[in-house]
Structure 1
Amino acid sequence: MSEPLDGERGVETSRHIDIQTPRPLDDEPPTKRSTFRLDADLIQRLHNFCRHQGLSREVLIEAMYEYMEANPEALAQVVDNASQKHDHRQQLANRKRAEAMMSKFGRDV
């Protein structure tokens, strides 16, 4: 459970990371819009989870990344998993490109 810091009310620290929340509104960092593609099933699960928790995907991803930065073991596990996914997706993309080129030059795949 979270406990108040230094006797202050309303400021708590996660039991997992040493980040105070909530921040005063005037301390919010500038944001930048970004678009990226995710596995269709994963994005649906992420939407459902965030909706159930009352969170936006963006703040959940920010918090997860900050947690990983503060926890090298968690970061190593995530990077290992991400590397495997990256390699698999790269193989799929290479195969698609090869199939497209073969079709373009008249060979059936």
Structure 2
Amino acid sequence: KIAEFIKAHTAEDDTVIWYGFDWSSEVAFYSQRKSLTVPAWPWKNFEIDAIEHRERFLDREPAAIVVCKSPNTEHVLSAVRAKYPAAAVETINNCPVFLIGAPTSVRDQRQ
């Protein structure tokens, strides 16, 4: 469901950052988007670097950030909210999906 949502709400050439999938590329593959899947390593700095210094990992701003359960979920969510306060958020399978630069309400966009 998350991959389908990403496909429906991002462009083919957009990029996505994924949290909570460790090194698995399965969801990123099914979304058919350029992706950075951030592993759940025991230190928080790496996960936050992918948000605060995305140029180290991606050549452009992500169109979406998916945050599923990982050891540092709350820390990651705080960083995403701070960096992208205007992002629209939809919860899919208990995972917040932040759409960067999307309309205020994702639900309004789908109607």
TM range (shorter): under 0.3
TM-score by length of 2: 0.27
TM-score if structure 1 supplies the norm length? Answer: 0.27
Answer 1 or 2: higher relative contact order, Cα 8 Å, separation at least 6: 2
Q: Is the radius of gyration larger for structure 1 or structure 2?
A: 1
Structure with the largest fraction of strand: 2
